Structure 1
Amino acid sequence: MLGVLGLILLISILIIGGDRGGMSLVALCGNLFFLSMGIWLMAEGVPVFLVIILIGAIVSYITLFYQNGSNIKTWSAFIAVLVTMSVLVFVVQGVIWGSRAGGLNEIQSAGEEVLYYDMNLDISMQKVQVAVILLSTLGAVIDMAFTVTASLYEVKSHKPDMTNKELIESGIRVGKDVIGTTINTLLFAYFGESLLLLSYLKMRNDSLEFLLNSKILFQSCASMLLGAIACVLVMPISTVLLAKMSKIKNIEKGENEI
């Protein structure tokens, strides 16, 4: 069944997306390879934060440059993503360490399956939780950054006489238009992922107090909120970067190289 669904997706992307759809599939395969490599490196004992930095930078580079070329909109988005994720890593680390939200949640540790887990792992579960939040947030941050820079790129190419102030204001307006849908996407993604587990907790007749203080609810809500914060932060950063870079190099219609 998974093979059939994958084949349907492949055919749909190639028919509708054409050459760009094929490029997105290649980029997706590359990202999956490096994400799998990151999991293997963490399991082998490589420092988690080093893996996060390397894999995050590689995935961002493949997603932006392979599909869209090297130009000021991709460079602006790439730098904005790196800056945002560098700030976010300290915020996420503080939240996870302060709440001790790493490791197994109530569902994972309640059943007999926990007997088959090896608890003597030479890796910090809190660091792994930081990696999970950052990597699950990365896609939405890249999408937000490139949406803003691509929109401003088109605005600047059609109105090259715009000042930096006007360009930044235009970027903020674009960001305001898409931030609502982005946050809704994050909300429903995390909530939908946890819906069955939350229903299971409710069916066990656990109290509302227990549910609200459960680790599973905290992990989902923290991931959603931190992802939303990152998407909001990357919006002005990418806007300012594109405005500054467009000032250094004038945008001409049809320009592809920086």
Structure 2
Amino acid sequence: MIGILALVLFVLLLAVGGERGASSILTLAGNIFVLAVTIFLLAGGFPPILLTFLAGTVISYLTLIKQNGKNKKTGAAFLATAAVMLLLLPAVYLVVWKTNGGGLNEIQAIQEDVMYYYNVDLRIRMLSIAVCINLLSVLGAVLDTALSITSSVHEVAVHRPELTRQELFFSGMRIGKEITGTTVNTLLFAYLGGSLLLFAYIKTGKYTVETILNSKFLFQDLSVMLFGGIACLAAVPISSVCGAQMTVKNIKKNQAQN
């Protein structure tokens, strides 16, 4: 059934997207390969933070530059994404460390197949793995937000080349205000949609509010959603700055050549 759904997705990508759809399929396959290699290296004991940095760089390159071409828009989006993720890293690490949010949560730990059939002595740092999970989970949303802002700023600059960096920055901020609401809602419903069965289980088990609020499973899911929203909001001004700077610089360079 998974193969059938994947085939339907690929057919629709080709039918609707055409050549760009084929490029999206190749990018998707490349990103899946990068994530698979990252998982194997993590299991082999390689440094999680370093692997996350390398995997995030390759995924960003494939998603932005390889798929959409090398230009000022994608270059600015790549730079903005890198800045957001570097700013987010210490915050994620601090929160996960303070809450001890790494490792298996309460629901996963009591599952029968985990208790009796799997070895839980993995000899890897669960804290670092939790940080990696949060960073890689929000990367896609940051890439989407960054490219949306830089592309919009570039289009504004193309039609209004007389605008200054500051005016282009505020243009990007206005565009960001229009898309942040839908982006945050997308993250919210992605979390809620994937956790409906878990909430039903909690309701059936009649757990207290204190137990739920202090549970690791609630923190692990909510942290991804909240960090995703924070990262997307931070991406708006950073992408606006990068987009305005690189676009104006490119326009001046073209004018000087002409």
CA distance in 2, matches of 1:232, 1:30: 27
The alignment's TM-score, normalised by the length of structure 2, stands at 0.95
Residue type of the alignment partner of 2:89? V
Deviations 1:173-208 (A, max 9, x none): 000000000000111111222221121122112112
Distance 1:34 1:204, change over 3 A: same
Percent identical across equivalent pairs? 46
| TM superposition shift of 1:218 | 1.1
Deviations 1:36-72 (A, max 9, x none): 1111110111100010000000000000011211111
Does 1:63 find its partner at 2:46? no
- Matched residue, 2:165: 164
Residue type of the alignment partner of 2:35? L
Residue type of the alignment partner of 1:60? S
| TM superposition shift of 1:114 | 2.7
Q: Which secondary structure state, in structure 1, belongs to the residue aligned with residue 101 of structure 2?
A: coil
Distance 1:252 1:16, change over 3 A: farther
Deviates more, 1:144-153 or 1:239-248: 239-248
The runs of at least 4 consecutive aligned structure 1 residues that moved more than 3 Å come to none
- Matched residue, 1:126: 127
Once superposed, what is the RMSD of the aligned Cα atoms?
1.4
Deviations 1:97-138 (A, max 9, x none): 000011111111123223223122110111111111110100
Residue type of the alignment partner of 1:239? S
Q: Which secondary structure state, in structure 1, belongs to the residue aligned with residue 185 of structure 2?
A: helix
Residue type of the alignment partner of 2:156? V
- Matched residue, 1:184: 185
- Matched residue, 1:244: 245
- Matched residue, 1:42: 42
Residue type of the alignment partner of 1:155? V
Kindly indicate whether the alpha-carbon contact (under 8 Å) linking 2:49 and 2:132 is maintained by their aligned counterparts in 1.
yes
Deviations 1:4-60 (A, max 9, x none): 111111111101100000000000000000011111110111100010000000000
Distance 1:160 1:192, change over 3 A: same
Give unmatched runs, 5+ long, in structure 2: none
